[in-house]
Structure 1
Amino acid sequence: MRQVIDQLREQVSTGAWPVGGRIPTEPQLVEALGVGRNTVREAVRALVHAGVLECRQGSGTYVVSADELSGAVSRRLASAQVAEAVEVRRAFEVEAARLAAQRRTREDMAALDGALADREAAWRSGRVADFVEADAVLHAAIVAAAHNAMLAELYASFGAATRATIAEGVGATLHQDRYVDHGRLVAAIRAGDPERAAAEAGAFLEV
């Protein structure tokens, strides 16, 4: 078991499985490692407990931190009060938006446009879980466009708390009065306007 855990951890630490990315499925891991399904399941569970991986219902298992230290941060943030989590999100996302407006590339904008379209489609679907995931993916794409590896890693470790605050914001059903337009935020990043991007990012994260 320890050997399998170490093998999985190595995939994370070497960047083969990057922070924010989804790891191979359980059957794929069984085939690649040559061990039983239960062994793989227990090894993944151990790294989830350590805060390195995160299981997302209906989506898969994702890398949320490159090591157990970041994992400890993730666990602490995940248990925080919603108001505290929103304040931390604001600290991350406002600066990320500012940096993204200064550093975004053509590829970043393509990713942002795609994530924004997916978010809009998820809202129209009326499915809360789909919208929460799509919204979180858009914000992660903005952080990625900031091109600060440390910020991206810390933000990824905050993933569960981010999704909790999004879910809290939209409630049990998607009502129009809770809809928050993110098109202006993406537009400010595209325009290379760091102050407007920061203002847009902070506007919907008031506590």
Structure 2
Amino acid sequence: MQVGSDRARRTLAYLRQKISSGEWPINSKIPTEPELMRLLGVGKTTVREAVRSLASVGILEPMPGIGTFVRSRMPVSSVLIEYMSEFGMPDLLGYRRALELEAAQQAARNRTDEQLAAMREALQSGDAPVEQPFGPDRRKAPGQFHFLVVEASGNKLLASLYAGVVTALRRALLAGTVVHATDAEARLSDHLALLAALEAGDVAAAAHAMAQHIDRDLVPAGQA
């Protein structure tokens, strides 16, 4: 991520801090351009340069007429995303399952109290309850809670691969080729069961809770 002016670099650092700290959760909308200009005391060009830089690596996604949304807490490889797009939905969903199962097991061993607190907060706040660009809740991609579980694994490579998977899944949701098989209430129940397993440090229970959730979360269209 390269930006030109000192003001743009400071603006970029500010945006990244808000995202990496979780203050701006995954799938949440960041402040509008005029709001950022007032907040940071910079001009429109500076804000756009910083946002464009983060959008180029998949951290932000501007949606015309709606706003700019947080999509990842780390850069997402465009090469990885394009490679994943070559495979069918069953393959992509199976890969997601493998990553999240491993993440849940590692998180049960490695999670910190601070990470558990962040997960609880994500669930209590509705997992990024601000305006979503997908319309009905059934179009929502995996959000902050899932990213926090993956990050709690302590495996940076796994987290990087997962960010690419979620980007590919979001595209599939928008295209209607993958859908949610359960409603928001059922997904919250699954998340709470997983959180309880992580709090207990129970590796087997964490794997079981994650498997149960994934198997009834996203499915190819027509199988819901």
Task: Give the counterpart letter for 1:132 in structure 2.
Answer: K
Match of 2:106 in 1: 99
**92 and 83 in structure 1: CA distance in 2 versus 1, 3 angstrom threshold:** same
Q: Distance in 1 between matches of 2:78 and 2:20?
A: 11
Unaligned segments of structure 1, at least 5 residues: none
2:63 is equivalent to residue 62 of structure 1: no
> Given the alignment of the two structures, is residue 170 of structure 1 paired with residue 170 of structure 2, yes or no?
no
How far apart, CA to CA, are the structure 2 residues paired with 1:52 and 1:121?
Answer: 16
- Alignment match, 1:204: 213
1:166-207 deviations in Å (ceiling 9; x for gaps): 783327x9487xx34312222211221112211221233346
Structure-2 separation of matches of 1:169 and 1:20: 30
| Total equivalences in the alignment | 195
Partner residue in 1 for 2:201: 192
The residue correspondences of 1:70-81 to structure 2 (distance < 5 A) are 70-77=77-84, 81=88
Map of 1:7 onto structure 2: 9
Q: 1:120 to 1:66 in 2, by over 3 A?
A: closer
Instruction: Indicate how the Cα distance of structure 1 residues 82 and 166 shifts in structure 2: closer, same or farther if over 3 A, else same.
Output: same
Distance in 2 separating the partners of 1:128 and 1:137? 18
Distance 1:141 1:7 in 2: 27
Q: 1:20 to 1:83 in 2, by over 3 A?
A: farther
Contact kept, 8 Å, 2:100 with 2:150, in 1: the verdict is yes
- Tell me the CA shift for residue 107 of structure 1: 1.9
Within the candidate set 142, 147, 150, 1:140 is matched to 147
CA change 1:121–1:79 in 2 (3 A) is same
Shift of 1:139: 0.9
Q: 1:186 and 1:56, CA in 2 relative to 1: closer, same or farther beyond 3 A? A: farther
What is the rounded CA distance, in whole Å, between the counterparts of 2:180 and 2:137 in structure 1? 10
- In the superposition, the TM-score normalised over structure 2's length comes to 0.61
More helix by share: 1
Matches within 5 A, 1:118-129: 118-119=125-126, 128-129=136-137
CA distance in 2 between partners of 1:20 and 1:163 (Å): 22
> Equivalent residue of 2:210, what SS?
helix
Q: Out of 89, 92, 95, which is 1:88 matched to?
A: 95
| Same amino acid, percent of matched pairs | 29
RMSD: 4.3
Decide whether the 8 Å contact of 2:20 with 2:73 is kept in 1. Answer: yes
SS in 2 for 1:188: helix
Q: Cα offset for 1:94?
A: 0.6
Q: Deviation of residue 137 (structure 1)?
A: 1.6
Give TM-score scaled by structure 1 length. Answer: 0.65
Tell me: CA distance 1:47–1:81, structure 2 relative to 1, closer, same or farther (3 Å). Answer: farther
